[in-house]
C-alpha cells in the first residue's frame, strides 16, 4: 500500500487500467466456469477483446494524434487476411500452435503497419482532413479487392489470380487459400479469451507507455499546436507517422484475433466495412477522446448492450449517429458549456465547502 501511495499520478492511473482489465477477466472466468453465462455471451468474449483493441487503437489516432481515421476496419481486414493466409498455408508444416499463432500475430501487425506507412507518408505531411478521406477510401478498396482475389498454394509456391480458381493452375496436392468472395475457410480457431486478454494487456502496455514517453509528449504537442511543436524542433511527420503506424498495427492484431476466431473469413461490409469503422469511432467518442480507459469501458458496454436489448437492433446505427453528434455538441457548443459550468457537480461541491468555511 505504501508503494501505491508513492507512485506518481500517471503510473497509478495506468495501474488502475491494467487492474481493471485483469479483474474483468477473472470475474468473467469465474462466471463462465460457474456456468452462469449463456453460450451467446461466451461467444462474445473474443469479439469483445477485438473491439477493445480496436477502440484503443483508434483512440491513439483520434485522441493522441488528433487525426481521424475512418479506415480502421480496413487495417483490421489486412491483418485478418494476411495472418489467415499464413495460418492456412502453414497449418500442416508448423505444428506447434502457440508458435504458429505468434507468427500469425506478428505477420498481421506488420502487414497492417506497412499499409499504415504507405497511407501515412503522403497524407500526414499535410494539414486538414485528408487522412479521414484517404483511410475511408482505403477501407473500401481493401474490402473490394479481397473479394476478387484468388490465391492458391501447391508444391511450387503461391499462385495468384483475379479471375477464378481455375486460372490459378494449381499443381497436384495444391489448395486454394483465398477463394474470391468466399474468402478463407479452415483457419485454425486459435484465438481464446485468455489470449485476447493477454494481447489487450500488451497493447495497453505499449500504448500507455508510448503516451507518457518522450515520443508520446511530442505527438501530443503536435496535436495541440503544430507550429509551436515544429519550432521547438519536433519532427512532425516522423512522430505523426509513428503514432499512426502503431495504431494501424494494433488494428491489424485485432484482425488476427478476428480471423482466428471464425472458421470462415470473408470480407463483407458487415465486418470490415464503413459501419465497423464508425462503430469503433463511437466507442472512442463515447469513452472520451484521448482517454484510453474510457475507450475500453465504452467498447465493453456498447458491445454487450445491443445483445441484451435485442429490440433496439434496428435503431442501433441510428443511435450511434446521434451519439456522435450529441457528444460533440455537448462538449463543444458554447451553450452546452455554459450549462455544464452552471450545473456541474464540482462547482456544487465547491460552493458547499465555501459556504461551510464562511459559516
Q: Which residues bind another protein (CB under 8 A)?
A: 62, 66-68, 70, 119, 121-123, 125-126, 128-130, 132-134, 136-138, 140-141, 144-145, 148, 162, 227, 274, 278, 281, 285, 289, 314-315, 317-318, 320-325, 328-329, 331-336
Nearer to another protein, 106 or 132 (CB): 132
Nearer to another protein, 100 or 143 (CB): 143
Nearer to another protein, 101 or 320 (CB): 320
Minimum separation from the CB atom of position 68 to another protein (A): 5
Minimum separation from the CB atom of position 357 to another protein (A): 35
Minimum separation from the CB atom of position 109 to another protein (A): 23
Minimum separation from the CB atom of position 141 to another protein (A): 5
Nearer to another protein, 30 or 318 (CB): 318
Nearer to another protein, 104 or 285 (CB): 285
Nearer to another protein, 90 or 179 (CB): 179
Minimum separation from the CB atom of position 5 to another protein (A): 36
159 dihedral zone (left: phi>0; alpha: psi -120 to 50; beta): beta
Amino acid at each position: 500500500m505504501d508503494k501505491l501511495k508513492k507512485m506518481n499520478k500517471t503510473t497509478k492511473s495506468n495501474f488502475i487500467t491494467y487492474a481493471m482489465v485483469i479483474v474483468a477477466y477473472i470475474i468473467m472466468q469465474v462466471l463462465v466456469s460457474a456456468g452462469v453465462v449463456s453460450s451467446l455471451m461466451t461467444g462474445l468474449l473474443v469479439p469483445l477483446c477485438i473491439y477493445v483493441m480496436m477502440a484503443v487503437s483508434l483512440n491513439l489516432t483520434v485522441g493522441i494524434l488528433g487525426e481521424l481515421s475512418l479506415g480502421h476496419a480496413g487495417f483490421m481486414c489486412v491483418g485478418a487476411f494476411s495472418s489467415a493466409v499464413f495460418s492456412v498455408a502453414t497449418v500442416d508444416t508448423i505444428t506447434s500452435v502457440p508458435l504458429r499463432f505468434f507468427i500469425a500475430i506478428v505477420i498481421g501487425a506488420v502487414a497492417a503497419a506497412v499499409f499504415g506507412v504507405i497511407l501515412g507518408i503522403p497524407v500526414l505531411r499535410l494539414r486538414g482532413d485528408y487522412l479521414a478521406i484517404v483511410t475511408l477510401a482505403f477501407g473500401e478498396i481493401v474490402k473490394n479487392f479481397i473479394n476478387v482475389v484468388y490465391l492458391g498454394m501447391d508444391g511450387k509456391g503461391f499462385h495468384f489470380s483475379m479471375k477464378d480458381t481455375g486460372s490459378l493452375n494449381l499443381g497436384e496436392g495444391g489448395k486454394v487459400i483465398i477463394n474470391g468472395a468466399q474468402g478463407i475457410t479452415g483457419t485454425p480457431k486459435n484465438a481464446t479469451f485468455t489470449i485476447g486478454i493477454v494481447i489487450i494487456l500488451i497493447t495497453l502496455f505499449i500504448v500507455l507507455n508510448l503516451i507518457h514517453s518522450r515520443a508520446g509528449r511530442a505527438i501530443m504537442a503536435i496535436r495541440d499546436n503544430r507550429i509551436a511543436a515544429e519550432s521547438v524542433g519536433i519532427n512532425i511527420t516522423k512522430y505523426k507517422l509513428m503514432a499512426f503506424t502503431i495504431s494501424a498495427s494494433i488494428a491489424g492484431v485485432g484482425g488476427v484475433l478476428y480471423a482466428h476466431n471464425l472458421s470462415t473469413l470473408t470480407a463483407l461490409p458487415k465486418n470490415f466495412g464503413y459501419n465497423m469503422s464508425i462503430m469503433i469511432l463511437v466507442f472512442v467518442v463515447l469513452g472520451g477522446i484521448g482517454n484510453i480507459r474510457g475507450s475500453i469501458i465504452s467498447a465493453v458496454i456498447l458491445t454487450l448492450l445491443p445483445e441484451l436489448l435485442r429490440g433496439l437492433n434496428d435503431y442501433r446505427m441510428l443511435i450511434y449517429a446521434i451519439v456522435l453528434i450529441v457528444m460533440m455538441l455537448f462538449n463543444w457548443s458554447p451553450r452546452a458549456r455554459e450549462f455544464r459550468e452552471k450545473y456541474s457537480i464540482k462547482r456544487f461541491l465547491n460552493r458547499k465547502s465555501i459556504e461551510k468555511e464562511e459559516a
